[in-house]
Chains A and B, each alone.
Chain A
Amino acid sequence: KAGVTQTPRYLIKTRGQQVTLSCSPISGHRSVSWYQQTPGQGLQFLFEYFSETQRNKGNFPGRFSGRQFSNSRSEMNVSTLELGDSALYLCASVAGGEGEQYFGPGTRLTVT
């Protein structure tokens, strides 16, 4: 069974631009959670989508948004990028509502 895939793996953007990251969960998994990982703040929860609905949201500004499609693939968007948005963005796939989360390799975003 294929694991969680994320594209792109690396991205360089300029302040003020926007970016869209993509995540394909494990086949059959209906829930996707997104996390931001930085050296200073560690792993922080962004939001979770289950059956195309946002079910939970972390403490991030409205510039961070996401969505989930009917095939469970998910995208997250960050608008008006700031230098502090430079991070590894990880998505995790869950079979059902709760429990074991399986992470993708992440997208390394650098904002210059």
Chain B
Amino acid sequence: GQQLNQSPQSMFIQEGEDVSMNCTSSSIFNTWLWYKQDPGEGPVLLIALYKAGELTSNGRLTAQFGITRKDSFLNISASIPSDVGIYFCAGQGNNQGGKLIFGQGTELSVKP
């Protein structure tokens, strides 16, 4: 199935460090969404981006919608142990209704 290219696949960092992950696509998207998923649970929406170039923050999280509309990144500042989980990017194309295309995920581990 179709997937976005998300990197890195995994990260192991020290508490307090900043984290950056990104997604790229060969297709243009109208919407980029970032989710976090804990084991055994559904993805939780972190940030939604609707406009090329848009930079949006949610607490320690900051995400940007790339100006080419083919990429997005997510930054987490001053990581804490509860940031552990899998982060997914998702893109939505024009006239695609409720269809999201997901990245493979970035597994984040934080060492206290």
Contact = CB atoms under 8 A, between A and B. Distances in A.
Contact of A102 (B45, B97, B102, B103): B45
Q: From DSSP, what is the main secondary structure of chain A's interface residues? A: strand
B45 A100 contact: yes
Given A43-B88, A55-B97, A100 B48 contact: yes
B1 A58 contact: yes
A31 B104 contact: no
Contacts of B19: none
Contact of B104 (A33, A42, A56, A100): A42
Contacts of B100: 33, 35, 43, 45, 92, 101
Interface of B: 1, 3, 30-31, 33, 35, 40-45, 48, 50, 88, 90, 92, 96-105
